[in-house]
């Protein structure tokens, strides 16, 4: 029976990975941070499971990392913890570097110092953001990196330090270069979830308008539940390697809006250009989407498109047999339609958040 340690277990991916590993019979340990509010909603259903355990640790705190590694002695570590919001990394670049770059080093060195280097396999949550200002399309494992945000620069350090520990200390340490993956559990300020929540609220008369940034940005969006399977597969290979995980399909933010609003019952038409572009509800003629430069980034990554050939060949993971783009949008909208319908108890809070989003205060 294997023991896994997941950092970032309270996040979108951490919660899906914990479910997958529990299904496989693992003893699952996760790290959490102290917070003044309850932020464990994604894993609340797992608490109380006899093989599910939580420990306090922070990637900024070596002592807490060493303590948990010594206690758990994991066979596999999945490092999913990060300040994961690209736009926020422009506001908090030093914190982002500390957690997303130095944090990876702290964990790898902790594994070594706890005498686990030969037995413990290590997965690093790397990212398509490394390709940034892309140098070729689509992007594969050989595409040169050109990080284009403080987040991506920090993650680039994480990628290289994993490679370094693999080569210097012969550790089974790998990076999954994952393209964007979304779900009904996605954080509410990432663009897909912001759109599906707004579509649901607008369809139910609880929000008037959605403000977005660059509508032309292109992403290769997959379903998070499908992607955590690859994290596990990467650590089950005979030798440690890095893999691109993507669907091989690309869509714009504008297109995501069209599909999401349609699923919520609103047919959209986009008119105008750049900052003057608007999404109009065809049935009522009302403007429901506007562009706000508040959501533009100092440098924006606009053309991510992954080539998952290596994952197909070596992991046997075929994205064409997984959740499609339309299925992903539909499942997110359906979940948010249900969530918004029973939002009454916390309606005031929600309305405030919607207003903050509208005013561009919350990115
Ligand atoms: P997420 O929902 O934002 O979750 C991030 C997790 O990291 C949360 O559990 C958070 O804990 C934890 N965390 C943040 N700072 C920490 C710190 N200092 N010490 C310990 N834990 C900390 O992110 P996600 O979408 O699940 O992504 C998981 C990982 O994959 C991240 O590393 C992200 O950068 C990477 N990634 C994501 C995507 C994607 O499209 N989702 C694509 C490529 C790579 P709290 O709950 O306490 O904040
Ligand atoms: N968040 C946000 N909010 N993004 C917007 C908005 C908006 O109102 N309007 C347009 N966008 C554009 C962004 O400019 C970006 O080009 C694109 O939508 C996607 O933004 P996000 O959903 O915030 O995700 P991301 O691609 O920057 O980062 C996510 O994917 C990375 C993998 O490529 C995160 O999950 C990262 O942690 C992950 O590494």
**pLDDT tens-digit series, residues 42-71:** 999 999 999 999 999 999 999 999 999 999
Task: Please tell me the distance from the alpha carbon of residue 40 to that of residue 107, in angstroms, as a whole number.
Answer: 23
pLDDT of 260 reads: 99
Closest approach atom of ligand 2 to CA 296: 14
Active site residue 151: yes
Strand residue runs (E) in the chain:
3-7, 27-32, 52-56, 76-79, 121-127, 173-178, 181-182, 210-212, 218-219, 222-223, 243-245, 251-252, 268-271, 278-281, 287-291
Burial level of 275, CB count in 10 A (0-12/13-18/19+)? exposed
Measured from the Cβ of residue 35, the count of other Cβ atoms closer than 10 Å reads 9
Q: What is the pLDDT of residue 348?
A: 45
- Which of 34, 159, 161, 151 has the alpha carbon at shortest distance from 110? 161
Side by side, which strands form the sheet with 52-56?
Answer: 52-56, 27-32, 3-7, 76-79, 121-127, 173-178, 243-245
Q: How many CB atoms lie within 10 A of CB 73?
A: 14
Nearest CA among 356, 355, 354, 15 for reference residue 184? 15
Q: How many residues does the chain have?
A: 363
Ligand 2 mutation target, pool 180, 301, 308, 357, most atoms within 8 A of CB: 180
Q: For 17, left (φ over 0), alpha (ψ -120 to 50), or beta?
A: alpha
In short, whether 183's Cβ falls inside 6 Å of ligand 2 is no
Cα–Cα distances in Å, from 329 out to 53, 206, 288, 315? 32, 20, 18, 26
Cα-Cα-Cα-Cα dihedral sign, residues 159, 306, 331, 357: positive
Atom of ligand 2 nearest to the CA of 304: 33
Q: How far, in Å, CA of 184 to CA of 12, rounded? A: 9
Cα Rg, the chain, nearest whole Å = 20
- Check residue 38 and give its pLDDT: 81
pLDDT at 39: 83
**Distance in Å, CA 163 to ligand 2 centroid:** 26
CA of 156 to the centre of ligand 1 (A): 16
**In the chain, what is the greatest distance between 2 CA atoms, to the nearest angstrom?**
65
Q: What is the reported pLDDT for 335?
A: 98
Is ligand 2 within 6 A of the CB of residue 189?
A: yes
What is the rounded distance in angstroms from the CA atom of residue 359 to the CA atom of residue 88? Answer: 17
Residue 347, pLDDT score: 57
Using an 8 Å Cβ cutoff, are 76 and 173 in contact?
Answer: no
Contact in structure between 96 and 84 (CB atoms under 8 Å): no
CA-based end-to-end distance of the chain? 43
For residues 218 and 224, is the Cβ–Cβ distance under 8 A?
no
Measured between alpha carbons, how far is 237 from 77 in angstroms, rounded to an integer?
15
Q: Is 23 helix (H, G, I), strand (E, B) or coil?
A: helix
Spans of the chain below 50 pLDDT: 345, 348
Answer yes or no: is the C-beta of 58 below 6 A from any ligand 1 atom: yes
For residues 92 and 83, give the distance between their C-alpha atoms in angstroms, rounded to a whole number. 9
């Amino acid at each position: 029976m294997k023991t896994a340690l997941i950092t970032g277990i309270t996040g979108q991916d951490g919660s899906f990975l914990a479910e997958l590993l529990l299904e496989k019979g693992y003893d699952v340990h996760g790290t959490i941070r102290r917070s003044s509010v309850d932020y464990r909603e994604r894993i609340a259903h797992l608490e109380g499971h006899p093989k599910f355990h939580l420990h306090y640790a922070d990637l900024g705190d070596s002592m807490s990392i060493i303590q948990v590694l010594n206690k758990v002695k994991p066979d596999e570590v999945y490092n999913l913890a990060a300040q994961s919001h690209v736009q926020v990394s422009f506001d908090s670049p030093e914190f982002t570097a500390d957690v997303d770059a130095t944090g990876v080093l702290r964990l790898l060195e902790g594994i070594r110092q706890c005498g686990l280097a030969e037995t413990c396999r290590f997965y690093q949550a790397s990212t398509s953001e490394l390709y940034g200002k892309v140098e070729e399309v689509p992007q594969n494992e050989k595409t040169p990196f050109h990080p284009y945000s403080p987040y991506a620069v920090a993650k680039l350090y994480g990628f290289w330090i994993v490679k370094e520990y693999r080569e210097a200390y012969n550790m089974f340490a790998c990076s999954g270069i994952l393209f964007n993956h979304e779900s009904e559990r996605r954080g509410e300020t990432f663009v897909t979830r912001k759109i599906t929540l707004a579509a649901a609220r607008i369809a139910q008369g609880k929000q008037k308008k959605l403000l977005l940034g660059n509508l032309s940005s292109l992403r290769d969006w997959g379903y998070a539940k499908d992607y955590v399977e690859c994290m596990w597969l990467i650590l089950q290979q005979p030798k440690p390697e890095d893999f691109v995980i993507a669907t091989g399909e690309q869509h714009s933010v504008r297109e995501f809006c069209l599909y999401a609003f349609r699923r919520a019952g609103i047919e959209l038409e986009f008119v105008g250009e750049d900052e003057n572009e608007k999404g109009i509800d065809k049935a009522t003629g009302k403007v429901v989407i506007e562009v706000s430069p508040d959501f533009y980034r100092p440098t924006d990554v606009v053309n991510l498109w992954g080539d998952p050939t290596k994952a197909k060949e070596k992991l046997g993971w075929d994205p064409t047999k997984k959740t499609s783009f339309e299925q992903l949008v539909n499942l997110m909208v359906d979940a948010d339609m249900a969530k918004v319908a029973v939002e009454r108890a916390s309606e005031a809070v929600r309305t405030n958040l919607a207003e903050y989003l509208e005013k561009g205060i919350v990115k």
